[in-house]
Amino acid sequence: MPRKRQGKLNLSPRKRRLPEREHGDWRVPLEHPEEVEHYVNPSLTMWRRMHLRVEYLQSAETAEWLRAAESDEGWEPIHGWPKVLRLMLAVGVLLPLSVVLVFALLVQLYHAAPTMESFTFWLSEPVWFSLMGALVMAALKFSVIADNLLVYAYVLGHELTHAIAAKMCGGHLQNISIDCNGGYVETDADNLFIALSPYFVPLWMLCWLGVLWLVNWVYPFEAFAPWFYAGFGFWWAFHLYWTVWIIPREQPDMLSNGVMFSLLLVLLMNILALLAVLWSFGVLSLPGYWADLQFCTKEIIDLFADVLGYAWQVFRAMTA
């Protein structure tokens, strides 16, 4: 089979190097001020900010980068009927499903509010040490040296997840490239799971939990639980932060599968992962969440039917 290049991770799409500063959620070199004008100038209106952003994306230099990316072996953006079908699937299935899951989660959290307000919940071992691990991750993010290490750790985990997903799908690896400016994996396998798995599979968190559980199984130690939950919180925060950080940077993983479809699929998978985390902490119960999910689904369907019915009545009144 032909060689496919998966996960061509671009930390700086205009230049393959680490930029000097970060502006908002878009990291760019400072020698291109037109890229960041819509972030750094607070006097601009929202419409002007959007207009500047569109101008940047439609500029000749950006178009040249996109053409260069499309010319890479094994990669091209999705187009034609496959793009239309995935867009319809995203808007018609993934988006409503994500909305229903989130609404059901909010209802379940409302039901669990009395329990969560008690100090017993917040001082419980899983919650306390997980929050401490997440705070350590946030503190390290503000350190220049640690930040560079975190960038490399993210790129390494991103490309390893691509590689593992490719092997799980029966693919063969030809090459893997990893550095602080980005990376890629070359394989003869190509599918949606391989392309998007790094955005919803927290590889380092799974590795931490697996290794620590194995060590405790072989040589049990008393401090297992604090380290287990602290590492869980650290690597879960790591996964969420870098996933949100990298998605806006015009990644081929997203472009080659449809941006809207990829975003909503990644959102849905991370919502499911969040539900699993909250269930493991005892915040929600599966029977209770299932009941709330059915209730929210019925309410949203009824609301949608009422809106369509009202729109139909208005249309008939206008055409009568």
Q: What is the per-residue pLDDT across 250-276, written as a single tens digit (0 to 9) for each?
A: 677 777 777 888 889 999 999 998 888
Q: Which amino acid is at 45?
A: T
For 145-165, what is the mean pLDDT? Answer: 87
Res 175: pLDDT: 81
For residue 266, the model assigns a pLDDT of 92
Across 73-87, 173-187, 191-205, 248-262, the highest mean pLDDT is recorded for: 191-205
The Cα 47–Cα 119 span in angstroms is: 46
Q: Which two three-digit tokens encode residue 269?
A: 């998978």
What pTM was estimated for this model as a whole?
Answer: 0.71
At 195-221, the pLDDT tens digits run 889 999 999 999 998 898 898 888 888
Q: Which of 35-39, 158-162, 180-184 has the highest mean pLDDT?
A: 158-162
First to last CA, the chain: 62
Name the residue with higher pLDDT: 115 or 256: 256
